[in-house]
A = this chain, B = another copy of it.
Amino acid sequence: MAAITLVEAVAQALAYEMQHDDSVLILGEDVGINGGVFRATLGLEKRFGKQRVIDMPLDETSIAGITIGLAVQGMKPVCESQFAGFIYPMLEQISCHGARLRSRTRGRLTVPAVWRAPWGGGIHAPEHHSDANEHLFANIPGLRVVLPSSPARAYGLLLAAIRDPDPVIFFEPKRIYRLDKEEVPDDGEALPLDVCFILRDGSDVTLVTWGSQVKETLEAAHALAKEGIHAEVIDVVTLTPIDFDTIATSIAKTKHCVIVHEAPKTAGFGAEIAARVVETCLYDLLAPVERVTGPDTHMPLLRLETKYLPSVERIMDAARRTLAAS
Protein backbone atom coordinates (compact mmCIF):
# COMPACT_ATOMS: atom_id res chain seq x y z
CA MET A 1 0.00 0.00 0.00
CA ALA A 2 1.45 3.32 -1.08
CA ALA A 3 1.54 6.25 1.24
CA ILE A 4 -0.79 9.06 0.21
CA THR A 5 -1.15 12.77 0.86
CA LEU A 6 -4.02 14.49 2.60
CA VAL A 7 -5.62 15.59 -0.65
CA GLU A 8 -5.27 12.07 -2.04
CA ALA A 9 -6.91 10.78 1.09
CA VAL A 10 -9.84 13.10 0.43
CA ALA A 11 -10.12 11.75 -3.11
CA GLN A 12 -9.84 8.19 -1.81
CA ALA A 13 -12.64 8.71 0.69
CA LEU A 14 -14.86 10.29 -1.95
CA ALA A 15 -14.25 7.42 -4.34
CA TYR A 16 -14.87 4.82 -1.66
CA GLU A 17 -18.14 6.30 -0.63
CA MET A 18 -19.35 6.89 -4.17
CA GLN A 19 -18.57 3.29 -4.94
CA HIS A 20 -20.51 2.00 -1.96
CA ASP A 21 -23.39 4.44 -1.81
CA ASP A 22 -25.25 5.41 -4.97
CA SER A 23 -26.76 8.43 -3.34
CA VAL A 24 -23.41 10.15 -2.88
CA LEU A 25 -22.64 12.76 -5.52
CA ILE A 26 -20.25 15.66 -5.89
CA LEU A 27 -20.99 19.16 -7.03
CA GLY A 28 -19.01 22.35 -7.25
CA GLU A 29 -16.87 24.44 -9.56
CA ASP A 30 -14.33 22.56 -11.68
CA VAL A 31 -14.89 19.30 -9.80
CA GLY A 32 -15.44 17.35 -13.00
CA ILE A 33 -12.83 16.74 -15.67
CA ASN A 34 -10.43 19.10 -13.92
CA GLY A 35 -10.71 17.16 -10.66
CA GLY A 36 -10.96 20.36 -8.63
CA VAL A 37 -8.23 22.98 -8.55
CA PHE A 38 -6.45 20.90 -5.91
CA ARG A 39 -7.30 17.53 -7.52
CA ALA A 40 -9.42 16.38 -4.60
CA THR A 41 -11.97 14.99 -7.06
CA LEU A 42 -9.42 13.73 -9.54
CA GLY A 43 -10.64 10.91 -11.73
CA LEU A 44 -14.08 10.78 -10.14
CA GLU A 45 -15.98 12.12 -13.12
CA LYS A 46 -14.34 9.59 -15.36
CA ARG A 47 -15.08 6.78 -12.94
CA PHE A 48 -18.60 7.68 -11.83
CA GLY A 49 -19.86 9.80 -14.70
CA LYS A 50 -21.09 13.34 -15.14
CA GLN A 51 -24.30 12.44 -13.34
CA ARG A 52 -22.44 12.04 -10.09
CA VAL A 53 -19.71 14.63 -10.42
CA ILE A 54 -21.33 17.84 -11.47
CA ASP A 55 -19.62 21.01 -12.63
CA MET A 56 -21.87 23.81 -11.50
CA PRO A 57 -22.34 27.35 -12.79
CA LEU A 58 -20.20 29.80 -10.88
CA ASP A 59 -22.45 30.90 -8.04
CA GLU A 60 -21.79 29.76 -4.52
CA THR A 61 -25.28 30.72 -3.37
CA SER A 62 -26.77 28.43 -5.98
CA ILE A 63 -24.41 25.61 -5.24
CA ALA A 64 -25.19 25.74 -1.53
CA GLY A 65 -28.94 25.92 -2.01
CA ILE A 66 -29.02 23.17 -4.61
CA THR A 67 -26.98 21.00 -2.28
CA ILE A 68 -29.74 21.38 0.29
CA GLY A 69 -32.42 20.50 -2.26
CA LEU A 70 -30.50 17.39 -3.29
CA ALA A 71 -30.00 16.32 0.32
CA VAL A 72 -33.65 16.75 1.17
CA GLN A 73 -34.48 14.49 -1.77
CA GLY A 74 -32.40 11.74 -0.26
CA MET A 75 -29.11 12.27 -2.02
CA LYS A 76 -25.88 12.67 -0.08
CA PRO A 77 -24.28 15.62 -1.82
CA VAL A 78 -20.67 16.51 -1.19
CA CYS A 79 -20.44 20.13 -2.18
CA GLU A 80 -17.12 21.82 -2.82
CA SER A 81 -16.46 25.48 -2.20
CA GLN A 82 -13.35 26.06 -4.28
CA PHE A 83 -11.69 27.98 -1.44
CA ALA A 84 -12.89 28.77 2.06
CA GLY A 85 -12.48 32.43 1.07
CA PHE A 86 -15.37 32.01 -1.38
CA ILE A 87 -17.76 30.29 0.98
CA TYR A 88 -19.43 33.47 2.24
CA PRO A 89 -22.29 33.46 -0.30
CA MET A 90 -23.18 30.00 0.98
CA LEU A 91 -23.82 31.22 4.47
CA GLU A 92 -27.49 32.15 4.22
CA GLN A 93 -28.42 28.80 2.73
CA ILE A 94 -26.29 26.85 5.18
CA SER A 95 -27.35 28.76 8.27
CA CYS A 96 -31.03 29.32 7.49
CA HIS A 97 -31.80 25.97 5.92
CA GLY A 98 -28.92 23.51 5.80
CA ALA A 99 -28.33 23.56 9.53
CA ARG A 100 -31.94 24.31 10.40
CA LEU A 101 -34.29 22.21 8.28
CA ARG A 102 -34.29 19.31 10.73
CA SER A 103 -35.25 21.64 13.53
CA ARG A 104 -37.62 23.69 11.38
CA THR A 105 -39.62 20.60 10.41
CA ARG A 106 -39.17 18.69 13.67
CA GLY A 107 -37.17 16.06 11.86
CA ARG A 108 -39.43 15.65 8.83
CA LEU A 109 -36.78 16.90 6.41
CA THR A 110 -33.06 16.48 6.94
CA VAL A 111 -29.91 17.62 5.19
CA PRO A 112 -27.27 14.88 5.06
CA ALA A 113 -24.83 17.09 3.13
CA VAL A 114 -21.14 17.83 3.36
CA TRP A 115 -19.61 21.14 2.38
CA ARG A 116 -15.91 20.76 1.68
CA ALA A 117 -13.55 23.69 1.33
CA PRO A 118 -9.78 24.02 1.03
CA TRP A 119 -8.99 26.24 3.96
CA GLY A 120 -6.35 28.64 5.25
CA GLY A 121 -3.18 30.23 4.01
CA GLY A 122 0.41 29.39 3.46
CA ILE A 123 0.52 28.39 -0.19
CA HIS A 124 1.20 31.83 -1.62
CA ALA A 125 -2.21 31.90 -3.24
CA PRO A 126 -3.69 35.10 -4.65
CA GLU A 127 -5.74 37.60 -2.68
CA HIS A 128 -8.85 36.27 -0.94
CA HIS A 129 -7.76 32.65 -1.36
CA SER A 130 -6.33 32.16 2.12
CA ASP A 131 -9.11 32.88 4.58
CA ALA A 132 -9.30 30.76 7.72
CA ASN A 133 -12.90 31.28 8.70
CA GLU A 134 -13.94 28.20 10.65
CA HIS A 135 -15.30 30.42 13.42
CA LEU A 136 -18.04 31.60 11.06
CA PHE A 137 -19.69 28.20 11.21
CA ALA A 138 -18.87 27.30 14.79
CA ASN A 139 -21.64 29.42 16.25
CA ILE A 140 -24.31 27.98 13.97
CA PRO A 141 -26.39 25.33 15.73
CA GLY A 142 -27.12 22.10 13.92
CA LEU A 143 -23.84 22.07 12.05
CA ARG A 144 -20.65 20.10 12.49
CA VAL A 145 -17.34 21.80 11.74
CA VAL A 146 -14.53 19.36 11.02
CA LEU A 147 -10.92 20.18 10.13
CA PRO A 148 -8.63 17.16 9.74
CA SER A 149 -4.85 17.49 9.75
CA SER A 150 -3.51 14.18 8.42
CA PRO A 151 -4.25 11.86 5.51
CA ALA A 152 -5.71 9.19 7.79
CA ARG A 153 -7.93 11.59 9.64
CA ALA A 154 -9.01 13.23 6.39
CA TYR A 155 -10.03 9.84 5.02
CA GLY A 156 -11.78 8.53 8.10
CA LEU A 157 -13.52 11.74 8.98
CA LEU A 158 -14.71 12.53 5.49
CA LEU A 159 -16.34 9.10 5.39
CA ALA A 160 -17.93 9.85 8.75
CA ALA A 161 -19.06 13.26 7.55
CA ILE A 162 -20.72 11.86 4.43
CA ARG A 163 -22.45 9.14 6.42
CA ASP A 164 -23.61 11.49 9.12
CA PRO A 165 -27.30 12.32 8.80
CA ASP A 166 -26.62 15.98 9.57
CA PRO A 167 -24.75 18.68 7.66
CA VAL A 168 -21.00 18.94 8.05
CA ILE A 169 -18.60 21.71 7.08
CA PHE A 170 -15.40 19.92 6.20
CA PHE A 171 -12.43 22.27 5.95
CA GLU A 172 -9.24 20.95 4.42
CA PRO A 173 -5.99 22.65 5.40
CA LYS A 174 -4.56 23.19 1.96
CA ARG A 175 -1.09 24.13 3.17
CA ILE A 176 -0.61 20.51 4.22
CA TYR A 177 -2.55 19.01 1.32
CA ARG A 178 0.66 17.50 -0.02
CA LEU A 179 3.06 17.91 2.85
CA ASP A 180 3.22 14.50 4.42
CA LYS A 181 2.27 11.07 3.21
CA GLU A 182 1.03 8.16 5.20
CA GLU A 183 -0.44 4.78 4.46
CA VAL A 184 -4.20 4.98 4.56
CA PRO A 185 -5.94 1.66 3.94
CA ASP A 186 -8.94 2.12 1.68
CA ASP A 187 -11.11 0.03 3.95
CA GLY A 188 -14.05 2.35 4.34
CA GLU A 189 -13.47 2.62 8.07
CA ALA A 190 -14.75 5.95 9.36
CA LEU A 191 -13.18 7.72 12.28
CA PRO A 192 -15.36 9.14 15.02
CA LEU A 193 -16.67 12.67 14.75
CA ASP A 194 -17.11 14.80 17.87
CA VAL A 195 -13.88 13.69 19.52
CA CYS A 196 -10.50 15.31 19.90
CA PHE A 197 -7.41 13.35 18.91
CA ILE A 198 -4.42 13.33 21.25
CA LEU A 199 -1.43 13.37 18.91
CA ARG A 200 1.28 13.39 21.52
CA ASP A 201 1.24 12.68 25.22
CA GLY A 202 2.86 15.06 27.62
CA SER A 203 2.72 16.15 31.19
CA ASP A 204 3.78 19.80 31.28
CA VAL A 205 1.58 21.78 28.97
CA THR A 206 -1.42 21.11 26.76
CA LEU A 207 -1.17 22.48 23.23
CA VAL A 208 -4.59 22.65 21.62
CA THR A 209 -4.82 23.21 17.89
CA TRP A 210 -6.38 22.15 14.59
CA GLY A 211 -5.82 22.32 10.84
CA SER A 212 -2.45 23.18 9.36
CA GLN A 213 -1.17 24.50 12.69
CA VAL A 214 -1.05 20.92 13.93
CA LYS A 215 2.19 20.70 12.00
CA GLU A 216 3.91 23.65 13.72
CA THR A 217 2.48 22.61 17.05
CA LEU A 218 3.90 19.11 16.79
CA GLU A 219 7.24 20.56 15.74
CA ALA A 220 7.15 22.90 18.70
CA ALA A 221 6.34 20.00 21.02
CA HIS A 222 9.24 18.08 19.59
CA ALA A 223 11.64 20.96 20.09
CA LEU A 224 10.30 21.67 23.57
CA ALA A 225 10.95 18.07 24.54
CA LYS A 226 14.61 18.73 23.91
CA GLU A 227 14.38 21.47 26.51
CA GLY A 228 12.74 19.05 28.91
CA ILE A 229 9.27 20.43 28.40
CA HIS A 230 6.76 17.70 27.67
CA ALA A 231 3.85 19.01 25.73
CA GLU A 232 0.64 17.15 25.10
CA VAL A 233 -0.74 17.96 21.65
CA ILE A 234 -4.46 17.81 21.03
CA ASP A 235 -5.95 18.10 17.56
CA VAL A 236 -9.51 19.27 18.16
CA VAL A 237 -10.59 18.10 14.67
CA THR A 238 -14.34 18.43 15.24
CA LEU A 239 -14.68 22.01 16.44
CA THR A 240 -18.39 21.72 17.00
CA PRO A 241 -19.93 19.87 18.69
CA ILE A 242 -16.84 20.09 20.81
CA ASP A 243 -15.34 17.30 22.88
CA PHE A 244 -14.05 19.42 25.72
CA ASP A 245 -13.66 16.53 28.11
CA THR A 246 -10.50 15.38 26.40
CA ILE A 247 -9.02 18.86 26.71
CA ALA A 248 -10.10 19.19 30.33
CA THR A 249 -8.56 15.84 31.22
CA SER A 250 -5.30 16.92 29.70
CA ILE A 251 -5.26 20.24 31.50
CA ALA A 252 -6.01 18.48 34.78
CA LYS A 253 -2.72 16.76 34.19
CA THR A 254 -0.57 19.53 32.68
CA LYS A 255 -2.06 22.58 34.42
CA HIS A 256 -1.04 24.72 31.45
CA CYS A 257 -2.68 25.43 28.15
CA VAL A 258 -1.66 27.05 24.88
CA ILE A 259 -4.11 27.32 22.00
CA VAL A 260 -2.85 27.67 18.46
CA HIS A 261 -4.80 28.67 15.37
CA GLU A 262 -4.35 30.53 12.15
CA ALA A 263 -7.50 32.68 12.06
CA PRO A 264 -7.50 36.13 13.61
CA LYS A 265 -7.44 36.01 17.38
CA THR A 266 -10.51 37.95 18.41
CA ALA A 267 -13.59 35.75 18.30
CA GLY A 268 -11.61 32.98 16.65
CA PHE A 269 -12.48 29.49 17.78
CA GLY A 270 -9.57 29.50 20.20
CA ALA A 271 -11.66 31.83 22.32
CA GLU A 272 -14.18 29.05 22.87
CA ILE A 273 -11.51 26.66 24.07
CA ALA A 274 -10.08 29.28 26.41
CA ALA A 275 -13.54 30.12 27.68
CA ARG A 276 -14.21 26.52 28.53
CA VAL A 277 -10.87 26.29 30.25
CA VAL A 278 -11.75 29.14 32.55
CA GLU A 279 -15.24 27.78 33.12
CA THR A 280 -14.24 24.21 33.77
CA CYS A 281 -10.54 23.91 34.60
CA LEU A 282 -9.86 27.07 36.55
CA TYR A 283 -8.66 25.31 39.65
CA ASP A 284 -6.32 23.13 37.64
CA LEU A 285 -4.65 26.00 35.88
CA LEU A 286 -1.33 27.24 37.14
CA ALA A 287 -0.85 29.97 34.58
CA PRO A 288 -2.79 32.05 32.11
CA VAL A 289 -3.91 30.36 28.93
CA GLU A 290 -2.08 31.63 25.88
CA ARG A 291 -3.40 31.96 22.38
CA VAL A 292 -1.01 31.88 19.46
CA THR A 293 -3.04 33.02 16.46
CA GLY A 294 -3.12 35.20 13.41
CA PRO A 295 -3.41 38.88 14.33
CA ASP A 296 -6.70 40.74 14.02
CA THR A 297 -5.85 41.76 10.49
CA HIS A 298 -6.44 40.45 7.02
CA MET A 299 -4.31 37.65 5.72
CA PRO A 300 -1.71 39.59 3.71
CA LEU A 301 -0.65 38.89 0.17
CA LEU A 302 2.14 36.38 -0.22
CA ARG A 303 5.17 38.48 0.61
CA LEU A 304 4.13 38.85 4.24
CA GLU A 305 2.20 35.61 4.53
CA THR A 306 4.65 33.78 6.77
CA LYS A 307 4.75 36.76 9.11
CA TYR A 308 1.06 36.28 9.60
CA LEU A 309 0.96 32.57 10.34
CA PRO A 310 1.74 31.22 13.82
CA SER A 311 5.29 29.89 13.83
CA VAL A 312 7.01 27.14 15.76
CA GLU A 313 8.97 29.86 17.57
CA ARG A 314 5.83 31.60 18.72
CA ILE A 315 4.29 28.39 19.96
CA MET A 316 7.44 27.51 21.87
CA ASP A 317 7.63 30.99 23.36
CA ALA A 318 4.04 30.76 24.51
CA ALA A 319 4.62 27.35 26.06
CA ARG A 320 7.71 28.56 27.86
CA ARG A 321 5.92 31.71 28.98
CA THR A 322 2.99 29.84 30.45
CA LEU A 323 5.31 27.46 32.27
CA ALA A 324 7.45 30.32 33.55
CA ALA A 325 4.35 32.07 34.81
CA SER A 326 3.35 29.30 37.19
Q: Which residues from chain B contact A277 at a C-beta distance below 8 Å?
A: 278
Q: Among the interface residues A128, A239, A295, A297, which one has the most CB atoms of the partner chain B within 10 A?
A: A128
Taking a contact as CB atoms under 8 Å apart, the answer to whether A266 and B127 are in contact is no
Taking a contact as CB atoms under 8 Å apart, the answer to whether A96 and B264 are in contact is no
CA distance in complex: A269, B141 (Å): 15
C-beta contact mask, A258-285 vs B, less than 8 Å → 1, else 0? 0000011011111111110111101101
Contact of A288 among B136, B282, B296 (CB under 8 A): B282
Contact of A275 among B88, B240, B270 (CB under 8 A): B270
Q: Which residues from chain B contact A291 at a C-beta distance below 8 Å?
A: 275, 279
Shortest Cβ gap from A290 to chain B (Å): 7
Known contacts A104-B127, A282-B285, A289-B278; A264/B139 CB under 8 A: yes
Shortest Cβ gap from A142 to chain B (Å): 7
Give the residue name and chain of the B residue nearest to A244 (CB).
B266
Taking a contact as CB atoms under 8 Å apart, the answer to whether A142 and B298 are in contact is yes
Taking a contact as CB atoms under 8 Å apart, the answer to whether A297 and B103 are in contact is yes
Q: Does A71 belong to the interface (CB within 8 Å)? A: no
CA distance in complex: A266, B279 (Å): 13
CA distance in complex: A103, B92 (Å): 26
Q: Which residues from chain B contact A96 at a C-beta distance below 8 Å?
A: 85, 88, 128
CA distance in complex: A290, B270 (Å): 17
In chain A between 128 and 156, which residues have their CB closer than 8 angstroms to a CB of chain B? 128, 133, 135-136, 138-142
Q: Does A214 belong to the interface (CB within 8 Å)? A: no
Shortest Cβ gap from A94 to chain B (Å): 9
CA distance in complex: A91, B272 (Å): 22
Taking a contact as CB atoms under 8 Å apart, the answer to whether B275 and A139 are in contact is no
Taking a contact as CB atoms under 8 Å apart, the answer to whether B274 and A279 are in contact is yes
Q: Does A242 belong to the interface (CB within 8 Å)? A: yes
Shortest Cβ gap from A126 to chain B (Å): 12
Contact of A88 among B92, B142, B242, B272 (CB under 8 A): B92
Q: Does A287 belong to the interface (CB within 8 Å)? A: yes
Q: Which residues from chain B contact A273 at a C-beta distance below 8 Å?
A: 275
Taking a contact as CB atoms under 8 Å apart, the answer to whether B272 and A269 are in contact is no
Q: Which residues from chain B contact A138 at a C-beta distance below 8 Å?
A: 266-267
Taking a contact as CB atoms under 8 Å apart, the answer to whether A139 and B267 are in contact is yes
Shortest Cβ gap from A183 to chain B (Å): 35
Name A residues whose Cβ lies closer than 8 Å to a Cβ of B. Answer: 61, 85-86, 88-89, 91-92, 95-96, 99-100, 103-104, 127-128, 133, 135-136, 138-142, 239-242, 263-264, 266-275, 277-280, 282-283, 285, 287-291, 295-298
Since A91-B91, A139-B264, A279-B291 are in contact, a sample of 19 more A-B pairs with Cβ atoms closer than 8 Å, ordered by chain A residue number, is A61-B61, A86-B92, A88-B92, A96-B128, A103-B298, A104-B127, A104-B298, A139-B266, A242-B266, A267-B272, A271-B274, A273-B275, A274-B275, A274-B278, A275-B278, A275-B289, A278-B278, A279-B288, A282-B289
Q: Can you list 13 contacts pairing A with B, beta carbon distance less than 8 Å?
A: A88-B91, A89-B92, A103-B297, A135-B139, A138-B267, A139-B268, A142-B298, A239-B267, A240-B267, A266-B272, A270-B275, A274-B279, A275-B275
